[in-house]
Amino acid sequence: MSGFARGRRRKFIRYVLTYAGLISLFLVFVFPLLWIVGISLKTREQIFTNPPVFFWMPTFENYAQVLTQSDFLASFSNSLVVTTASVTLSLLIGIPASYTFARFRFPGQGVAMITLLIMRMLPPVAILLPLFVLFKAVGLSNTRLSVIIAYTTFSLPLIVWVMKDYFANLPKELEEAAYIDGASRMLAFRKIVLPLARPGIVTAAILSLLLAWNDFIFAAILTNNATRTSPVLLASYAGGETGTNWGAITASGVLVVIPVIIFSLIVQKHLVQGLSSGTVK
């Protein structure tokens, strides 16, 4: 009886410690972001009150200000255009390639896969200068097309590695049946493989979307004030001093991050696999 009671007490203590740990996790990793959301819902006086206000009537004036601000809207729409275009292009190029990597053997295949893996690892800052010089030479500097090209290419390794495993795990009997019925490879790929691979394609699309949407360094160099994306605009707010317009800064940040959070939660199961280039399942 006492042994049973002791066991229950130990279990209780373990629960308490576990939840204490989990709640501190939440405080460290999520609360800072909630605090920033909070700032975006405060008036200027409330933001610069010391000690900080913890309870207040939320105001949307910062969001109203940001959403009527032409440079925020311009950069946000640039981000949308650049992200949509690069995701579409990289899927169009990367998915057929990754299918071929999964299903066929051809000379140089191993080298190509390893090269793609290394491409994903290289620090962008180390490739930025020659890329900038080359884009300038072909008259593409300060265009959205230049960042679209850069993001498309940087997404390819991600898409090829994530989708290759996905395609390799699809049963190939269906494709073989289609060949026997006289379908071409292209037809079997489009009509049979792609519909089966849809969940994998969604994951690959979102990972490449996040890459383009979150990037700062390429856009910082390859765009100008008219073609810059949201992260570039946000970084310009932080140049040197953050000034006193914290309401607008935080509201813009929240608006930029909301789509990221939604899409990340959709693919949360596949995030680790994607971010480790398919090396971990």
Partner 1 sequence: MVAQQFEPAGSYAGVIDEDVTSERRNAWIKFQDRIFVPLTIVPTIVASLLVFGIPLAFSLLLSFQGWTIDSGLFAGRFVGFANYQDLFTDPLFRSSLALTIGYTIATVTSELLLGLGIALLLNSRVPFVRIFRTALIIPMMITPIVAALTWKLLLDPSYGLVNAILGTRTVWLGDPDLALIAVGVVNIWQNTPFVAILLLAGLQSLPAEPVEAAAVDGANSWQTFRHVTLPLLMPYVVVAVLLRTIFEFRSFENIWVMTGGGPANATKLLSVYTFEASFLSFDLTLAAASSWVMLFIVLIFCVFFILATKRKEIQ
Site for partner 1 in 236-255 (CB under 8 A): 237-240, 242, 246, 249-250, 253
How far is CA 88 from its chain centroid?
15
- Kindly state whether residue 21 participates in binding partner 1, applying the rule CB under 8 A: yes
- Kindly state whether residue 80 participates in binding partner 1, applying the rule CB under 8 A: no
- Kindly state whether residue 234 participates in binding partner 1, applying the rule CB under 8 A: yes
CA neighbor of 266 nearest in space, from 278, 274, 277, 256: 274
| CA dist., res. 64 & res. 82, Å (int) | 25
Smallest distance, partner 1 to C-beta of residue 45, A: 12
Closer to partner 1 by CB, 1 or 74: give it. 74
Closer to partner 1 by CB, 1 or 133: give it. 133
Closer to partner 1 by CB, 73 or 261: give it. 261
Smallest distance, partner 1 to C-beta of residue 101, A: 8
Total chain residues near partner 1 (CB under 8 A): 112
- Kindly state whether residue 111 participates in binding partner 1, applying the rule CB under 8 A: no
Tell me which of 87, 99, 212, 223 binds partner 1, using CB under 8 A: 99
Smallest distance, partner 1 to C-beta of residue 5, A: 21
Q: Are 274 and 203 in contact (CB under 8 A)?
A: yes
| CA dist., res. 79 & res. 219, Å (int) | 10
- Kindly state whether residue 66 participates in binding partner 1, applying the rule CB under 8 A: no
- Kindly state whether residue 93 participates in binding partner 1, applying the rule CB under 8 A: yes
- Kindly state whether residue 127 participates in binding partner 1, applying the rule CB under 8 A: yes
Can you tell me which residue has the tokens 């066929």?
A: 104
Site for partner 1 in 131-160 (CB under 8 A): 131-134, 137, 149-150, 152-154, 156, 160
The binding track of 185-214 with respect to partner 1, each residue x by CB under 8 A or -, is xx--x--------------------x--xx
